[in-house]
Amino acid sequence: MKTRVNRTENIKKVKNSIINITTEKTIINRTEDNYLYTIGDIDLLRTISKLIKSNEISEVANTILNKNKQDNGITFFINKQAAYHNKFHMIDENMSTLDDIEVIIDTQQPDAVIDWILN
């Protein structure tokens, strides 16, 4: 999971955007080229799975996940500003001028991961 921190953004707010869609225990790292990222296993997606269910967007999520599925993984995006405000807006491509949060799932079993996220 990664996102760029723009010059006009407060790094703490960007970190909170990631924490709001993962957990408070998430360790967030910063790169030299101003990206924040976190790496984890499927448990990192537990909050995203809960947000999909609580926002009742399983059908939309299913479409996005399957559209962005490859043999070795899945990629999708979450709107960074929405995440900061504890709103969950999942999209299939980076649409924001400030950059969205990119979620990259490396797996040899993308269908099983999609099933786990949605169920």
Which among 12, 27, 15, 91 is positioned nearest to 57, based on CA atoms?
91
Residue 4 has pLDDT above 90, yes or no: yes
Q: Which of these, 59, 37, 58, 36, lies nearest to 48 by C-alpha position?
A: 58
Q: Which residue has the tokens 């997606």?
A: 45
Instruction: Determine what percent of the chain falls in helix, strand and coil, rounding each to the nearest 5.
Output: 40, 20, 40
Helix axes 11-21, 46-54, angle to 10 degrees: 80
- Containing domain of residue 81, as a range? 2-118
For 78-90, the pLDDT digits (tens) are 999 999 999 999 9
Number of structural domains (the chain) is: 1
Q: What is the CATH classification number for the domain harbouring 96?
A: 3.30.1440.10
Q: Assess contact for 1 and 99: CB atoms under 8 A.
A: no
Phi, psi of 4, rounded to the nearest 5 degrees:
-85, 145
Q: What is the mean pLDDT of the chain?
A: 94
Neighbours of 111 (CB within 10 A): 12
Average pLDDT over residues 19-28: 91
